[in-house]
A and B are shown apart, each in its own frame.
Chain A
């Protein structure tokens, strides 16, 4: 649940991360993303101090005059925020469920975009798109997003492949796409979905939200497990060796998700619901400053 208290705290975020995060995707600073999905749209006359890398030497060859390329990122950037609202996101062992935490993250990004007077879109999904707020700017749009998330009913399983295809059609121009999920689905579906999103948005930020309990199952003995995603029930005797096996599989799955992100050029972050929400923004800020996003 996103409450007023959290919204007040967003001001802190404003101070910490605003320009740093957004500008890294806006291209105002030197970025490793140069040449990757960033297209020059016109030229302007060269002024001393401009980066010589952006001089269009072909034009100079023709005209013997220096012109620099002007890139799309110098124009406005729409931010698309996708939140996983499947049943698995309803899991929480602490103060927040995964969806609550993801919602706070999503609203945080929405806040930053709104402060820049840029547009943002917000959508929830499971095996398909559920609620979608079309790209708009302004405070009214922001609070609509808050309401939407607060009233969101979780359910179903997840299929990012289908969602990616469908939402990709919504993305009209180069934009920043942020996907927040627990990514508890088949790695191949994740990869395909991210690929579709990355192809349309050119900038993709992936944040995985986990609960600390599901990272390390500290159970033992006779248990009856309820799968939140599929409602399947399984009775078993959970042993230390099974715990180890689970941890290995879990980490292996994380790696696959990470590899899927790398393969599509997306930035990948993972967090747990017991981490302070703003820390993730700090992480993103920290890594973008170093020019390395992982």
Chain B
């Protein structure tokens, strides 16, 4: 539709009338005689188009003048037309990309699909839109804040998923907080497989964002996949050497035969195969002989499944711990215990002869109170031992006769039993529990002629007894552990010390007690954990990927081994997440997922003014007229 801003200007078209009149009134042409028109007629015949033109318009000059005037007058009248144009709504957009381990499933991976979806969203945006990018790792990270679509494309193109879970809900809340003050259309696009999340519920976060006037579109990628994963792991040293015990779960719909292989410092050590029914888990125990130094252990599953990051568990097997033992015994006591302890690698034995006791037991890891005569047990001895155990030390105390002379109050909690009297009858112990202490120990073959009758204290665990009377109990006190052994190593009491499994018993003892002091667990992490690497300073850490990062606390977002460059310490991180490895379904309902992600459009009425076009056209006609005048010789 066309209209005029100044319709009154059209009245100026009346100026055309005097122009036409002037043209009509112009002087008559000169009469000229010519002998023959033969040359002029021939000339005219070549200009037939002019003849044709002249039949309609007698003089092109008049037409040009009328046209120029008409265009100028029309331009002054301000004509315009209205049209409807569709515009894209300018957006302040946040793109949230799921960076979790489950995004590595599939081929192409879900992450590749997510990148494609994110780039499709970006393709619909233009320079007027603001784009932010949040990488939803277990802790959401703002990677781009109100930048351009081009910046976002570069960033997304260079990103890769981690071996952690993702906090999608938290990322949505973070994104909402980022753009809530914006006064243009606010949109959050979440690209994920929605198979697992930690932290805030994404749907709740979505509602929170809606309430703030922010649109949230959930874009799902990926399809259900069959997967087998390691969901739990335990490692350390045992009689067999270095071991890793893992739990593997089959998330698929069919039985899978899974082989677990143990590698110590990249050398193959052990393997075990099992058939895992669908939906079930199985335990794989792997071990191999290894030296006492620190080792990097890895268990890997040989199975064809959706993702590989959860097919491996990593662990640092710490070096054999040195155990400093203090043996408290009367000088003429047998050396069986001493020799059994000294035969163990990393065990260093000091002896004291009561009534001489150290003021401070803290320099020892283990105190073995073999025996002492009643008179040689000083007041406060057991109080000091109690304090030692409470602060993390371990105490092994035999049921020797001198204990009967110590008041119960004096004994305190240093002994998990209450000594009563020496037994009248002998017997052989019965094994009540299959405890680590009794692994490969044939305690039931021991013959005890004498032992102390004791009452078990509440909280203690009796591992072996003779006729209901504890001869082997354990208890915890504070940070330490206490073991009571009622089989006194003296020939007229028992023959335990003569059994071949006696040294094994002490090896088990040291190993079991030292596990509590093991550094291994403090350097074995789950992905997503933070590892402190420096107090009040930053340190450089080499990640499993080879990337070197620096910080005081390092987020272990990749599975594998980490190296702290300054001190050479290594740490291990494994996924070990039952929920994250379940890539067979989505955690969100179907109805929550958006179809498509086209930005909103709106129609706008646009006014197209013709002034300049007409004015320029009029000017062109004037120029043409000038050339026409010049060509016919009037100028």
Q: A241-B631, A246-B43, A249-B42 are in contact. Are A223 and B35 (CB under 8 A)?
A: no
6 CB-based A-B contacts, threshold 8 Å? A184-B38, A221-B30, A234-B37, A240-B631, A246-B40, A253-B39
Does A285 sit within 8 A of B, measured CB to CB? no
**Shortest beta-carbon distance, B578 to chain A, in Å?**
97
Contact B35 A211 (CB under 8 A): yes
Does A64 sit within 8 A of B, measured CB to CB? no
5 additional contacts (CB under 8 A) given A221-B29, A223-B30, A241-B632: A184-B38, A227-B36, A227-B37, A229-B35, A242-B43
Measured in the bound complex, the distance between the Cα atoms of B37 and A250 in whole Å is 11
Q: Find the B residue at minimum CB distance from A158.
A: B36
Measured in the bound complex, the distance between the Cα atoms of B631 and A235 in whole Å is 19
Interface string of B4-41 (1 = CB under 8 A from A): 00000000000000000000001111111111111111
Interface size counted on chain B using CB atoms at 8 A:
24
Chain B residues whose CB sits within 8 angstroms of the CB of A98 once the complex forms: 35
9 cross-chain pairs, A with B, having the tightest CB-CB distances, nearest first: A222-B29, A88-B35, A239-B632, A91-B35, A184-B36, A249-B39, A227-B37, A240-B633, A224-B29
**Shortest beta-carbon distance, A103 to chain B, in Å?**
16
**Shortest beta-carbon distance, B35 to chain A, in Å?**
4
Q: Find the B residue at minimum CB distance from A220.
A: B633
Q: Which of B581-635 contact A (CB under 8 A)?
A: 631-634
**Shortest beta-carbon distance, A95 to chain B, in Å?**
16
**Shortest beta-carbon distance, A157 to chain B, in Å?**
9
Chain A residues whose CB sits within 8 angstroms of the CB of B633 once the complex forms: 220, 239-240
Measured in the bound complex, the distance between the Cα atoms of B35 and A88 in whole Å is 4
Residues of B within 8 A of A (CB): 26-44, 59, 631-634
Contact B39 A228 (CB under 8 A): no
Q: Find the B residue at minimum CB distance from A227.
A: B37
**Shortest beta-carbon distance, A138 to chain B, in Å?**
35
Interface string of A193-221 (1 = CB under 8 A from B): 00000000000000000010010010111
Interface string of A179-194 (1 = CB under 8 A from B): 0001011000000000
Does A232 sit within 8 A of B, measured CB to CB? yes
Does A130 sit within 8 A of B, measured CB to CB? no
Q: Find the B residue at minimum CB distance from A237.
A: B632
**Shortest beta-carbon distance, B352 to chain A, in Å?**
134
Contact B40 A234 (CB under 8 A): yes
Measured in the bound complex, the distance between the Cα atoms of B35 and A98 in whole Å is 10
Measured in the bound complex, the distance between the Cα atoms of B41 and A15 in whole Å is 45
Does A42 sit within 8 A of B, measured CB to CB? no
Contact A223 B32 (CB under 8 A): yes
Chain A residues whose CB sits within 8 angstroms of the CB of B35 once the complex forms: 87-89, 91, 98, 182, 184, 211, 214, 227-229
Measured in the bound complex, the distance between the Cα atoms of B35 and A185 in whole Å is 11
Interface size counted on chain A using CB atoms at 8 A:
37
Does A226 sit within 8 A of B, measured CB to CB? yes
Contact A225 B39 (CB under 8 A): no
Measured in the bound complex, the distance between the Cα atoms of B41 and A182 in whole Å is 18
**Shortest beta-carbon distance, B629 to chain A, in Å?**
10
Contact partner of B37 (CB less than 8 A), chosen from A91, A182, A230, A253, is: A230
Contact partner of B29 (CB less than 8 A), chosen from A217, A223, A245, A249, is: A223
Contact A91 B43 (CB under 8 A): no
**Shortest beta-carbon distance, B519 to chain A, in Å?**
107
Contact A240 B38 (CB under 8 A): no
Q: Find the B residue at minimum CB distance from A234.
A: B37
Measured in the bound complex, the distance between the Cα atoms of B36 and A250 in whole Å is 11
Contact A226 B32 (CB under 8 A): yes
Contact B29 A228 (CB under 8 A): no
Measured in the bound complex, the distance between the Cα atoms of B43 and A266 in whole Å is 30
Chain B residues whose CB sits within 8 angstroms of the CB of A225 once the complex forms: 32-34, 37, 40
Measured in the bound complex, the distance between the Cα atoms of B43 and A249 in whole Å is 8
Measured in the bound complex, the distance between the Cα atoms of B27 and A250 in whole Å is 30
Q: Find the A residue at minimum CB distance from B633.
A: A240
Measured in the bound complex, the distance between the Cα atoms of B632 and A220 in whole Å is 8
Measured in the bound complex, the distance between the Cα atoms of B41 and A89 in whole Å is 19
Interface string of A81-99 (1 = CB under 8 A from B): 0000001110100000010
Chain A residues whose CB sits within 8 angstroms of the CB of B632 once the complex forms: 237, 239-241
Q: Find the A residue at minimum CB distance from B39.
A: A249
Chain A residues whose CB sits within 8 angstroms of the CB of B59 once the complex forms: 237
Q: A235-B29, A239-B633, A240-B633 are in contact. Are A91 and B39 (CB under 8 A)?
A: no
**Shortest beta-carbon distance, B451 to chain A, in Å?**
141
Measured in the bound complex, the distance between the Cα atoms of B46 and A246 in whole Å is 12
Q: Find the B residue at minimum CB distance from A252.
A: B39
Measured in the bound complex, the distance between the Cα atoms of B27 and A223 in whole Å is 11
**Shortest beta-carbon distance, A288 to chain B, in Å?**
30
Q: Find the A residue at minimum CB distance from B33.
A: A226
Chain B residues whose CB sits within 8 angstroms of the CB of A219 once the complex forms: 30, 32
Measured in the bound complex, the distance between the Cα atoms of B36 and A276 in whole Å is 24
Chain A residues whose CB sits within 8 angstroms of the CB of B26 once the complex forms: 222
Q: Find the B residue at minimum CB distance from A97.
A: B35
Measured in the bound complex, the distance between the Cα atoms of B634 and A261 in whole Å is 41
Q: Which of A145-183 contact B (CB under 8 A)?
A: 182
Contact partner of A91 (CB less than 8 A), chosen from B31, B34, B41, is: B34
Measured in the bound complex, the distance between the Cα atoms of B44 and A230 in whole Å is 17
Q: Find the A residue at minimum CB distance from B60.
A: A237
**Shortest beta-carbon distance, B117 to chain A, in Å?**
70
Q: A239-B631, A239-B633, A240-B632 are in contact. Are A229 and B30 (CB under 8 A)?
A: no
Chain A residues whose CB sits within 8 angstroms of the CB of B44 once the complex forms: 234, 236
Q: Find the B residue at minimum CB distance from A157.
A: B36
Chain B residues whose CB sits within 8 angstroms of the CB of A228 once the complex forms: 33-36
Measured in the bound complex, the distance between the Cα atoms of B34 and A224 in whole Å is 10
Contact B27 A224 (CB under 8 A): no
